[in-house]
Structure 1
Amino acid sequence: MLNILKNNLILNKKQLCLVAAFSFFFFIPIVSLAQIEITEIMYDLEIGGDTGREWIEVYNSGTEDVNLSEYRLYEAEVNHKIKSILEGGNTIINGGGYAILSDNPEKFFEDQPNFAGLVLDTSFSLKNTGEILVIRNSDLLDIDSVNYLSEWGANGDGKSLQKINGNWVASSPTLGKVNYIEENSTSTTNDENVVDTTSTTSSSSPSNSARDIVKINIKAEIDELEYLPIAGADFELNGKALGLKDEPLKNAYYLWTFGDGSKKEGQKVLHNYVYPGEYLVMLEVISGEHSTCDKMKIEVVPAEIEISKVNISSQDNFIELHNSSDNDLDISWWRIKADNSYFTLPKNTILLSNSFIKLPFDITKLLPNDNSEIQLLYPNGMIAFNYVEKIIIEQKTISYNLEKNIIVPEPIVYSVEKPREVVLDESSNNQIAKINESLDMIGPQKEEGDKKSKFPLNKWSFILFGITLVAVGGVGYATKLDMDNEKPF
C-alpha cells in the first residue's frame, strides 16, 4: 500500500513538473509578444473623403525596440505588410514609443504637416461601419486586435477612437501621444461612446461604465509670443500647468515638441528653427496620473537684418542696423563683432519694420578701421550677416595760422665799415694829370656822312690805354685788401 502511495506521489510530482514546464513555455511567449497594441483609430474623417487619409496608431508597451517591418496588419482578410515611407528608412518603434500606420503617407502629411513622429506605410481601407483589426508578428500570431463599431463614435465628427485604460472612447486626435479625454467631452458620460476591452487578444464589447476613463482635471497653457521668431535665432517658450481653478501646479513635467523633429523638457525652453516656415508647437504636461496638452502655431520669419553702414570719424562714429522686413523683430542678445571685440544687444531690443538704428561708439565701444571684419551674430554665436561694404572713415581738416606757426629766424647783421678813401701821393697825381692831358689832345674825328665816332689807331693810343688800366686796377686791388682785413670773422 505504501509503495502504491509513493508511486502516486512520484507520478503527481512529474505531472506537476510537466504542467509547470508547459505553462512556462506557453505563457512566456504571450507575455513577450504582447508588446505592440492598437491605441487609436481614425476611420471616418470629418472633411473630405476617407480614401488614403485613414490611419491607425500603435504603441510599444514593452521596453525593447521592435522592427515593425516584420509584423503584419490584418484587415479585410488580408495580412498587409508594414514598411518605411522611404526606401531603406526606419521601421523601428522604440520601447514606450508610438508609430502611425498610414494608408497613404502623402495624404497623411497633407492633413498633419507638423507631425514629427514615426509614420509607416501599409495598405488598408477602413470601413465606416466597423471591422476587425489585428496586429500579427512574423509568425502570423495575433498580438493585439480590436473590432470597432461606428456606434462607438468618431464617425465623421473629426474625432478618433482612442484606447484609454482598456476602454475605447471618441476624442480629439492625439497622434503619437498619450490619449486623454477632455473634461467637457460627452464621451465621459455617454455610455454608447465608452467601450471596455477586457482582453487585448479578443474583440471589444460595450461597457456600461466610464469609471476607468482618465478625466482631464489639469490644464496646459503656452504663453503667446509677442514677436515672431527669427530663423536661426533662439527664442523663449514658456508653459504653464494649471489646476481646475487655474492654480499653478508644482512639480509638473513639461515636454515640448517643436514640429521640426526636436523636443525639449522644462517649463521654460529656448529653441531656434533653422528654416523659416510655419510650425506647430506642442506642450504636454503631466502631473501625477493626469496629463494634458496645449498647442500653438508659430510662424518663423527669415533673418532680414543687416549691417547697412559703418561710419568712423572724430564727430560721428556708429554702426547702423537695418530691418528690411515688414515685421518688428526682437534682436535681444544678438551680438556685433568688430575684429576681436564684441557688443551684445540687451534684452528687449526691438528693431522696427523697415527701419534703421544707429549704435554709437559711446555705447558699443567698437572702433573698427578700414580693414576690420564686421559681423552680426545670432545669440548662439553663429554668423547672421557679414559686412563687406567699405568702411567710411572721414578725415578731419585742420587749419593752421601760418603767421603764428612758422618760425622765421632773425637775420644776422654784420657791421661793415665804409671803405676808406685812397690818398694818392704827388707823383701819382702828376701821372694822372698827364694822362688826362693826353686824352684831351685825342678827340673824336667825325667824317662827313658818317654818324659813328672814330679814334686814330696809333701806338700812343694803345700805350695810354694800357697805363690807365694798370692804374685803375691797382687802386681797386688795394681797396679790396683793406676791406678784407677789417671783416669780423
Structure 2
Amino acid sequence: MKTLIRLFFIIIFSIPLLLITASIPESRLFSVCLADSPTVVINEVAWMGTVTSTNDEWVELYNNTAQDVDINNWTLVSTTDDKFSILLSGKILAQGFFLLERKVSNNSLAPILADQTYPYANVLHNDGEYLELKDATGRPIDVVNGFPWPAGKTGVGTMERISPESADSWQASATPEGTPKAQNSTPIQTADEQPTETPGETESTTLTSTSTPTSSDHSPEANAGPDIIALANQEINFDASQSSDPDGDSLAYRWNFGDGTTADKPTINHSYQYPGTYIAVLEVNDGQNSSSDQLTVTVYSNSILISEFLSAPTGADQDNEWIELYNDSGQVADLSGWQVDDAEGGSKPFTLPQNTLLAGHQYLVLQRPTTKIALNNDNDSVRLIYPTGQVVQEIKYGKAKEDQSVSLAGNRQYLWSASPTPGGPNFISANQQKTNSQISAAITQAGENMESIQSIIPQETALTVTQETPAANLTPQTSASAPLKEISSSPSNKKSDKTNNQTASLTETIKSSPATTLLLIIVFGVLAGLGLIKIRRKRGI
C-alpha cells in the first residue's frame, strides 16, 4: 500500500514538470548545440589586460559573414563563475569587429574606441575562463575553452584566434598591445612547420594557413564632429563627411545615437525626445578595417520658462522678492546646474543644486533669501541660464510697479499683474492688458546668439513680444493645464470671484459625473445611519 501511495505522489509531481517541458520551445531544448558555422566569433581576448594596466581587459568579436549582424540582447558569459556576464547591444558590420572594453579610469586603448564598455566587476581570471557567446534566444554561437588560457601573456601579447572556423586555434599576438579592431597577427611558423622537400619529389610542399592574409590596407579615420548642445525634440544634424580613408577606399557608415536608434548614412538629422546626456558613436568601415569616433550630445528641456517674478514687493525687498519657473510639459525636468540671475554684472547667479526636479506642469518659486538675487526697482532683467552658461531666456523691465509682478500671459507676452500668484497660474485683468508698461523678452536655443533675436516692445503696442521662434519650439506660452485667467481690476472682488469659481467648479463636477453624485449620496446615507444609531444608544431605545 505504501508503495502505491509513493507512486501516486511521484506521478502527481511529475505532471507539472512534463507540462513545463512541453511549453519550452524546441530551439531552447537543443540550444546546447553550437551554430554549424559561427556568424560571430570571439576573435581576441586580452585576459591579461594591457601594458598600461592589467585591469584594462578587453574582448574582440568578429563578424565572419558578408552581412551585418544585429547583436542586441546577445550575451557573452563565463560558465566558470558568475563574475563575467555582459549584455550586448548594437550591430557588427559585415566582416567587421566589435570591441568590448572593461570600464577603467584610463583609456589605454586610445585612440581606438570601444564599441561597448562593460562594468568593472566583470573580471577575467588569469588561470582561465570558459567563455560562451549566445544570441538573443540563448542559443550558443561560439565558445572559448580557455581553462587554462591557450595563449597570451602579460607584457608579451594578447590571445588571438588564428582561424574563425576553429575554436581551438589560438596564438599570442605579435605585439604586447594586440590588434584591437584590426586583423590578427600573421601566424608564426615553428621549425616543425617549415616546408620540407621529400626525396623523389620535384616540388616542395608548402604549408598553407587558414588565417586571412595580412593586407597592406590602412584603417579609415572616423570623424563624428564636435560635441553638441541641443533641446529636446530639436533636429540635430550629424555629419560624418570629415571621415576619410588613407587608401581612398569607399566607406560604410554606422551611427549609434545612444538612445537605441541607429543610422547607416554619413549625414543625417536626428532628435532626442527626452533631456539627458547621450554618447553618439560613429563607426566607418572600408571593407577590411574599421575605426570609430564619438561625440557627446547634451540635451536640455525646452519646456522650462520664467513664469513670473516680483521685483518691488510691499515691505522689505530682501525678504519678499521672488522668481518663479514653470515646467510647460508633462515630464519631470531635471534642473540640476541650471542658473537664475538678474542683469549681467548684477547679483551672483544662483545655481540650482543637484537633483533639483520639477514635475510636469508645476511651478518652482525661488525666494530672494535663498537665491541672494537682488532685483532692481528699475532697469533690470531676470535671466534663465543653462548649466553650460548659455542664456536661455531674459525678461527685461523698466520702472517696476510696487507689489506688481511681471507675469507670463500667453502668446509670448509678459505683462504687469496686480495679483501676484507665486506657485500658481498667473492672473491678469482685462484693464491691465491695456495699460501695461514696456517689457521686453528674449528666448534663445542652443547655438543661437541671444542678442540676435532679442525684441524690445514699444510703449504704444499691445505688448506682444515679437521674436524669432526657435526650431525647438521653446516659446513662452501658457499650457492647457495652467490657463491665464482674467479677473476684475477691483481688488474688493478678488475673494468673491475665487469663491464663486470654486463653487461653480464643484457644481460642474457633480453635473458631469453621476458616479460622483451616487458616491456622495451613499457617504451621506452611511453617516446619517451611524448618527441615528448613536442617538438611539444614548436614549436607550
Larger radius of gyration between Structure 1 and Structure 2? 1
TM over 0.5: no
* TM-score (norm: length of structure 1): 0.39
* TM-score (norm: length of structure 2): 0.36
